[in-house]
């Protein structure tokens, strides 16, 4: 066995030595011949493609041949042939994961270099033909990346296709992407950039579509969202244009709702969210968001003017919409936590008011404390359910710890202190304490 290993190692070293001795011009010629042999019968001559790949890199990396049109056009043809292997599989099976996804990129780059070095009419023609072929495959590979949720790679592929497409049109050649499909190509490109975290590229292409007056409502919503995140003063203009063009579009409506949430304009939010519940009556998140509007209005009124009739109305409205959300989805975490927090925060305010009373107001103090304890008890079941859904929410753990401290349940105080410390230290609680 040892002797066999030594023999194989010697063989590999001999092959490497032979390759090192091949002149770049001969390597270029042999690469072309190997590719021709492969193309005659791809299924039987797979080794010829591997040989061509190895030889063309010798020519591409040598000063003697890397300034030649033939080198780069041949390299493009070889990598385009390699891309065809995956391309043909994807035509048969769209779930196929390309084995050589970089091949189409390399082919495009090689043909681009060939075009730069072309001097004769047929050379320009061959380079453009190669670009169209490789870019077509790259477009298919981009779809594969999207299916794999590799949005950064998909954007890179789609943008290169877009660049080649524009170049081919400038040269009077047929495009890779038909004109009627081009806006959708740009949209998918922008969306992939956004999903991959490349916000600048996403904004660039959304703006291109926006400036062109696109009829795709999502563009207005997503472009607005990106601008709004950065506090761009032009964000609202984009949103208003989208609302005017697509008054019934839900995505734009929700983008508008998010804007007013950030602005804390609860009066406007109330109107928008009621409209949203009419559009999507089975969406629990809309009811939860509307509940949050009334909860904020309640807290403002209660903290400023006390337990007024208006504060009571806001509180009841908030409960109504949170409960509607829970009817549609009993595990709606936001609704559960928010109901608990309303009772809890009201209890905290009452305790604060009690502590601000003079010592002579003993009766009033006891009444406020008793009412506060009742509110804490009402909050507890909601926080328990919230914890059963998300055992790592910091605010829920804090509330549970405080309520159990009020109840002098020190075993549970200890339990939730530990759980809270875990979260603070970056250690997840692997399971909830309460099982609902």
pLDDT 10s digits, 381-413: 999 999 999 999 999 999 999 999 999 999 999
Mean pLDDT lowest among 152-161, 216-225, 268-277, 334-343 = 268-277
pLDDT value, residue 18? 43
The contacts found for 252-255 with CB under 8 angstroms, 24 or more apart, are 252/217, 252/220, 252/221, 252/224, 253/279, 254/221, 255/220, 255/221, 255/224, 255/225, 255/228
pLDDT in tens, 143-180: 888 988 999 999 999 999 999 999 999 999 999 999 99
Q: Which residue has the tokens 């039987």?
A: 44
Which of 134-143, 156-165, 232-241, 242-251 has the least mean pLDDT?
242-251
Phi, psi of 68 (to 5 degrees): -105, 135
pLDDT above 50 (res 15): no
Q: Give the pLDDT of residue 3.
A: 42
- Cα-Cα end-to-end distance for the chain: 63
Per-residue pLDDT, 121: 95
- Which pTM value belongs to this model? 0.66
Let me know: does 186 contact 208? Beta carbons within 8 Å: yes
**C-alpha dihedral sign at 324, 328, 330, 335:** negative
pLDDT of residue 20: 52
Q: What is the pLDDT of residues 66-124, one digit of tens each?
A: 999 999 999 999 999 999 988 888 777 777 777 888 999 999 999 999 999 999 999 99
**How many CB atoms are located within 10 Å of the residue 81 CB?**
20
Placement of tokens 């499909």 in the chain: 181
| Interatomic CA distance for residues 225 and 152, integer angstroms | 20
Number of C-beta neighbours around residue 13 at 10 A: 10
Share of the chain above pLDDT 90, in %: 64
Report the distance separating Cα 35 and Cα 33, nearest Å. 5
Tokens of 129: 């033909």
Q: What is the DSSP string of 262-295?
A: HHT-HHHHHHHHHHHHHH-TT-HHHHHHHHHHHH
Residues in the chain, overall count? 436
Q: Is the Cβ–Cβ distance between 191 and 206 less than 8 Å?
A: no
pLDDT, position 374: 93
pLDDT of residue 330: 93
């Amino acid at each position: 066995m040892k002797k066999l290993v030594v023999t194989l190692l010697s063989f590999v070293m001999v092959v490497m030595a032979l390759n090192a001795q091949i002149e770049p011009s001969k390597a270029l010629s042999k690469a072309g011949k190997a590719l021709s042999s492969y193309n005659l019968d791809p299924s039987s001559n797979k080794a010829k493609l591997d040989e061509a790949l190895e030889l063309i890199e010798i020519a591409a990396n040598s000063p003697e041949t890397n300034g030649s049109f033939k080198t780069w056009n041949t390299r493009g043809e070889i990598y385009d042939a390699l891309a065809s292997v995956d391309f043909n599989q994807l035509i048969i099976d769209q779930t196929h994961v390309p084995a050589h996804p970089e091949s189409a990129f390399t082919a495009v780059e090689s043909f681009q270099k060939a075009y730069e070095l072309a001097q004769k009419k047929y050379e320009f023609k061959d380079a453009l033909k190669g670009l169209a072929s490789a870019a077509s495959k790259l477009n298919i590979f981009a779809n594969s990346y999207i299916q794999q949720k590799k949005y950064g790679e998909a954007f890179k592929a789609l943008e290169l296709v877009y660049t080649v497409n524009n170049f081919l049109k400038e040269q009077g050649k047929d495009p890779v992407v038909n004109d009627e499909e081009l806006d959708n190509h740009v949209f998918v490109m922008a969306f992939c950039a956004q999903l991959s975290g490349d916000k600048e590229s996403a904004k660039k292409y959304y703006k291109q579509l926006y400036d062109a007056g696109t009829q795709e409502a999502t563009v207005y919503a997503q472009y607005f969202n990106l601008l709004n995140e950065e506090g761009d003063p032009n964000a609202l203009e984009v949103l208003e244009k989208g609302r005017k063009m697509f008054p019934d579009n839900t995505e734009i409506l929700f983008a508008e709702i998010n804007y007013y949430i950030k602005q804390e304009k609860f009066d406007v939010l109330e109107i928008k969210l009621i409209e949203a519940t009419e559009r999507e009556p089975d969406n629990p998140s809309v009811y939860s968001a509307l509940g949050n509007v009334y909860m904020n209005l309640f807290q403002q009124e209660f903290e400023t003017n006390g337990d007024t009739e208006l504060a009571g109305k806001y509180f009841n409205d908030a409960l109504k919409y949170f409960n509607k959300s829970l009817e549609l989805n009993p595990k709606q975490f936001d609704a559960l936590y928010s109901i608990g927090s309303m009772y809890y925060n009201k209890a905290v305010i009452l305790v604060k008011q009690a502590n601000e009373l003079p010592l002579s107001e003993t009766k009033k103090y006891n009444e406020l404390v008793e009412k506060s304890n009742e509110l804490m008890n009402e909050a507890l079941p909601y926080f328990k359910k919230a914890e059963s859904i998300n055992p790592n929410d910091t605010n829920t753990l804090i509330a549970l710890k405080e309520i159990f401290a009020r109840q002098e349940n020190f075993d549970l105080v200890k339990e939730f202190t530990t759980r809270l410390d875990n979260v603070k230290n970056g250690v997840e609680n692997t399971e909830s304490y309460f099982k609902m």
